[in-house]
Structure 1
Amino acid sequence: MDRLLGGQIGLDDFICVHRKGQRKELEMTKTDQYLGLTITDNGNGYAFIKKVKEGSAAHQIKFIEAGDHIEKINNESMVGLRHFEVAKTLKDIELGSTFIIRLIEPFKNSFQSIGPRSESRKSSPSIAYGSGKETLRIRKKGPPVVESMPTEVVRAALEKINSLLESFMGINDNDLANEILDLGQQKSNPHDFVMAIDNSDLKEFGFSDNFIFDLWGAVTDAKAGRLAKI
């Protein structure tokens, strides 16, 4: 589910279609700076809830579930926005204020009446595509590319950076984490790393200095191999 909702789909992964189901309009009061929602999107203008943190304000509302599409916040459409833009909208809501969020849950019973396809002719020999250890990445710019799965060191670094992103903005994005890691690997000190972020598209996120130093800590731990040992 994490890979499906995060856009990291392996060559041998089974892909399901998300059909719109029941709309849910919920009134929430922002009692904490972080609502406990991890948000992702499908790259086509639809943001989804990827995870609901246990014990959080959002978790207390039983109707909010992973897989729900965020359609509107306070009557403002979220369709067409990236996940970090939706997360920023939620983050900018004043503490203590009440807001309305409209969700659309996935249709859960789409295939009850569908059975397996009958084999009317002799099946051709199956061909194995990929090793299951590769990922097809489709980006907005450039052709699709097949990438090998990262080493344990890089994987651990991406998990740490994603964890920091989740705590700061409530998003979890491997492409964004990869971009941060790539910038960090090219720099030898935190000052150059800060300057690299300030001179890149990442400056639009408004990362605080303390947060950037936390990211640098994850990068240096990865370089030293400390994260892979945890």
Structure 2
Amino acid sequence: MNYRIIAKILSRVMTIEALLMILPVITALIYGESIVCFLLTMLIAGALAYLLSLLKPRRKDLYAREGFVSVSLSWILMSLVGALPFFFSGAIPSYVNAVFETVSGFTTTGATILTNVEAMSRGLLFWRSLTQWIGGMGVLVFIMAVLPLAEEHSMYIMRAEVPGPLVDKLVPHIRSSTTITYLIYICLTAMLVILLCCGGMPVFDSLIHAMSAAGTGGYSIKNLSVGYYDSAYIDIVIGIFVTPKSRTKIPITISIYALS
């Protein structure tokens, strides 16, 4: 087992998670909310990334075994760190519950321990839905789309992250494949935001629900979910975007690209 190459991958994962905190920070600043919880999380993620980067790989080889371990540990580490904003802010006083909420997001499960989601700040609501948006395509698929990895390394990670036979068609140009699928994913999300805005949903609400629908997790910022808007148009639009992915259990963006 090449533990050092796994540490290198985990270091990159933590670097990305630290950078992702910039988005809820911007959201919190726009709405005049505290950003301390996000800055603390960013600091911890950055520190972990630095410590893991100290383990320089002596060998560059990465095979299926390392791929599966990297994916598993990345999910765990991202969830443990991703739960910190909820815990530090006091929005979810129990760290265990905060981890549950975050794991539910990254795995797009959609289960929640919150009884009054509307009491949560906009910055935290954005981060909560962002976890589902990232999880919709797979955490490691996202990492491969934004950070350079050797093609042979990416293949084993991709096989560990994405179910089904469609992965074979994405190899050998795995980096370009993940980039293209994410562009499709972003375009579909943006399209849904526009359609929801056309239905009278506020811009922030549209963005949150679009990310949740794209990832098929279903997180909402209303206690009544989309039922709050009492709009058949909104129900139909979200249903159209969610149904294909929820039926196949495979990201629709990968399916679209693989069939092309």
Q: What range describes the TM-score normalised by the shorter chain of this pair?
A: 0.3 to 0.5
- Compute the TM-score of the two structures, normalised by the length of structure 1: 0.32
Larger Rg: 1
Higher relative CO (Cα under 8 Å, sequence separation at least 6) belongs to: 1
Would you tell me which structure has more helix in proportion to its own residues?
Answer: 2
Normalized against structure 2, the TM-score is what?
0.30
